[in-house]
A and B are shown apart, each in its own frame.
Chain A
């Protein structure tokens, strides 16, 4: 029956024998419990294994391996990522402590009770979602968020508006933010201009897509491999290496442009795709995020596999990698963002190898008459990373939760 028990990671839905039940998932110190809507008795209880802390269940992502105790007292280890798939049956004597929801407040009450006192608490305030919030402050914050949010989005709206403006509206006084007669002329003009260029436009697009794909894939594999051993094994030099990578998080972009150029020319990589792809493989941010995220994986998973005789590569490929999917996605997105936006004007000379952003910068150099086309081109470029981010926001935030630098 347990194969059918699925708790969505937001903890609101559970399926028992194909029947869906709504309720809430509560996390406490020793485990978690699922309460049916309107019921105080837990329907199901989960105990964290010794290695898991309560934040694991809240993150709902990796390191979400939990022990589930069903009503008939059978115990299973589940993995939330796998949709509560059964891993193995547990020894029945283990984890007998009941699931208790305990906060520090509860603890204080308990201690006071032992002393024979009673702490006076304004009950309604403590049960409010945000106990320390004044209404005036809330309103102020909402107002500020609204104003600044409008200011933040205005340039992007203006950009899209400009891309849709017909020529007469582009040069109208006063200039409208949003066109009265939206048109796609600018986009078709853009493709006409592109069609006249010396190298076909599709070539730029193919270049960028090629660089982005290869660079991201290589980065994912190479950086994950390094992150895996840095996060899960203790070996001489590992910590030092990671500390250096953390420092080098700062040295991205233009600061290393000149010496990188010198090194690449020495290696004969100037004017080849390698000049863009290889540095992307070694981007520190990807390794950093992946390592921090992998640290949250239970060591027991790896130890168990080692005892079973799995090779290190097997552990990496079939145990660790499937468990860090959110971090993959984050790595992919950061890598795609930087590669997609690269203009590569300093290391690529051949027109046929230039990137999309470079080509669009050339159009921009066409001056004021091309304002509409430039806006259209920008919309095309900008849309890709923003769309990817919108689609994968929750996964990225999950990864970023472990992004801190511990000193």
Chain B
């Protein structure tokens, strides 16, 4: 008994010491908090508070005009059991995320790697070519000309000329083709910030490691990639993964601009367009918040999974 109490008291004392140490450290660095404050306040308002807000409103019925009414888990139940469009949206988002997320990520990495082998001036040109689509903002709308449904659409005319199709196809309004086109467009735009981070990461790897690797018996580029390059790129890989998750789940502009909003049979609906529909068209904020909350959760889980996966690379 005495033993336990001495343990507890020691534990309490330890905690107290820790706290006091932290407090003196905090007092000594008062100005640090002043420096941090402007950013921290804005960050709290626009990034932390929204997460809390959406969790709170997800348990309510809220249409902005009337005060929020608590309805428990009803929003979530409706989402899963009643909202067929949401299921389509989940299915589409899942397909897009599973295909464009990992594929875009791997392609970003591979092309950054290939580009790294180029001579310097060519490398600069290649980086611009691969990176440009992702910063070109609304440039993807050019795909609405390329894949236009009539014979003046470039892709249709190409296929017609080669006799592969008899009549022009409605690439952007036929539910059978929409997803494929979307995935192509999203992949085209996927060489973003993560790609840039990879390019920079490759340039920063110590060249003598490769020489040492050669002496140690690394014989081809793939072995070199796995044993030397990947382990030294881990931090960039995680950063790239975070960026991929963001873009894979944030698909909204592309389907809205290319396939219409709403699209035929909701075939190009994604979770984020669904969220937009309920939030900004129907003003069912509670319901929209439930969708947003689910998205937050899935994204955090994805990041956790990827960082534990990357922990095993190269070992």
Using CB atoms and an 8 Å cutoff, list the residues of chain A in contact with chain B.
54-55, 58-59, 102-105, 108, 119, 121, 125-126, 130-134, 137-138, 141, 144-145, 148-149, 151-153, 155-156, 158-159, 162, 170-175, 177, 222-223, 225-226, 228-230, 233-238, 241, 244-263, 265, 267, 278-279, 281-282, 284-285, 287, 312-313, 316, 334, 337, 340-341, 346, 357, 360-361, 364, 371, 374-375, 378, 381-382, 385-386, 389-390, 393-394, 396-401, 403-407
* A254 x B250 contact (CB < 8 A): yes
**Residue among A104, A138, A228, A279 with the highest chain B CB neighbour number at 10 A:** A104
Chain A residue numbers with a CB within 8 Å of B204 are 55, 58-59, 401
* B272 x A263 contact (CB < 8 A): no
Distance A234 CA – B43 CA, assembled complex (angstroms): 20
Given A258-B54, A287-B39, A386-B136, residue A238 in contact with residue B214 (CB < 8 A): no
Distance A235 CA – B33 CA, assembled complex (angstroms): 9
* A404 x B201 contact (CB < 8 A): yes
Distance A249 CA – B236 CA, assembled complex (angstroms): 14
Given A138-B117, A155-B146, residue A259 in contact with residue B54 (CB < 8 A): yes
Interface residues in B, total, Cβ within 8 A? 114
- In the assembled complex, 14 residue pairs joining A and B whose CB atoms fall closer than 8 Å, in A order, are A55-B204, A132-B224, A173-B151, A226-B35, A233-B29, A249-B243, A278-B45, A341-B138, A364-B141, A386-B135, A389-B131, A400-B199, A400-B201, A403-B235
* A284 x B139 contact (CB < 8 A): no
Instruction: Taking A119-B215, A337-B137 as given, write out 10 further A-B residue pairs in contact, using a Cβ cutoff of 8 Å, ordered by the A residue number.
Output: A121-B215, A131-B214, A141-B114, A145-B115, A145-B126, A247-B300, A258-B54, A385-B136, A386-B128, A386-B136
- Is B295 part of the contact surface with A, judged by Cβ < 8 Å? yes
Between A and B, how many residue pairs show CB distances below 8 Å? 335
Given A312-B31, A381-B137, residue A235 in contact with residue B42 (CB < 8 A): no
Chain B residue numbers with a CB within 8 Å of A59 are 204
Distance A371 CA – B141 CA, assembled complex (angstroms): 11
Chain B residue numbers with a CB within 8 Å of A103 are 208, 211-212
Query: B269: shortest Cβ distance to chain A, in Å?
Result: 14
- Is B266 part of the contact surface with A, judged by Cβ < 8 Å? no
* B145 x A371 contact (CB < 8 A): yes
* B152 x A258 contact (CB < 8 A): no
* B157 x A241 contact (CB < 8 A): no
**Residue among B188, B209, B218 with the highest chain A CB neighbour number at 10 A:** B188
* B299 x A250 contact (CB < 8 A): yes
* A382 x B239 contact (CB < 8 A): no
- Is B22 part of the contact surface with A, judged by Cβ < 8 Å? yes
Q: Which one of B25, B35, B208 contacts A225 once the chains associate, using CB atoms below 8 Å?
A: B35
* A258 x B197 contact (CB < 8 A): no
Chain A residue numbers with a CB within 8 Å of B105 are none
* B239 x A228 contact (CB < 8 A): no
* B129 x A254 contact (CB < 8 A): no
Interface-facing stretch out of B4-12, B81-89, B274-282: B274-282
Distance A162 CA – B141 CA, assembled complex (angstroms): 12
Chain B residue numbers with a CB within 8 Å of A228 are 35
CB proximity to A under 8 Å, residues B206-223: 206, 208-215, 218-221, 223
Which of chain A's residues has its CB closest to B223's CB?
A132
Distance A234 CA – B26 CA, assembled complex (angstroms): 9
Distance A252 CA – B64 CA, assembled complex (angstroms): 23
Given A132-B223, A234-B25, residue A382 in contact with residue B140 (CB < 8 A): no
Chain B residue numbers with a CB within 8 Å of A133 are 117, 221
Chain A residue numbers with a CB within 8 Å of B275 are 254-255, 257-258
Query: B201: shortest Cβ distance to chain A, in Å?
Result: 7
Given A132-B218, A235-B29, A254-B252, residue A156 in contact with residue B201 (CB < 8 A): no
Distance A399 CA – B193 CA, assembled complex (angstroms): 12
CB proximity to A under 8 Å, residues B261-295: 272, 275-276, 279-280, 285, 288-289, 292, 295
CB proximity to A under 8 Å, residues B168-224: 188, 191, 193, 196-197, 199-201, 203-204, 206, 208-215, 218-221, 223-224
B41-72 to A contact mask, C-beta < 8 Å, 1/0? 01101111111011001000000100000000
Distance A265 CA – B283 CA, assembled complex (angstroms): 13
- Is B32 part of the contact surface with A, judged by Cβ < 8 Å? yes
Distance A142 CA – B246 CA, assembled complex (angstroms): 30
Which of chain B's residues has its CB closest to A160's CB?
B142
Chain A residue numbers with a CB within 8 Å of B211 are 103-105, 126, 131
* A386 x B38 contact (CB < 8 A): no
* A400 x B234 contact (CB < 8 A): no
Distance A105 CA – B206 CA, assembled complex (angstroms): 13
Q: Which one of A259, A284, A374, A382 contacts B136 once the chains associate, using CB atoms below 8 Å?
A: A382
Given A105-B211, A250-B303, residue A222 in contact with residue B29 (CB < 8 A): no
* A253 x B203 contact (CB < 8 A): no
Given A145-B114, A156-B132, A375-B145, residue A236 in contact with residue B26 (CB < 8 A): yes
Given A173-B152, A174-B158, A396-B196, residue A222 in contact with residue B38 (CB < 8 A): yes
**Residue among A175, A346, A361 with the highest chain B CB neighbour number at 10 A:** A175
Given A153-B132, A244-B48, residue A229 in contact with residue B32 (CB < 8 A): yes
* A346 x B280 contact (CB < 8 A): yes
Query: B142: shortest Cβ distance to chain A, in Å?
Result: 4
- Is B103 part of the contact surface with A, judged by Cβ < 8 Å? no
Distance A250 CA – B191 CA, assembled complex (angstroms): 16
Query: B58: shortest Cβ distance to chain A, in Å?
Result: 10
Given A132-B223, A171-B152, residue A260 in contact with residue B46 (CB < 8 A): yes
Query: A334: shortest Cβ distance to chain B, in Å?
Result: 8
* A401 x B203 contact (CB < 8 A): yes
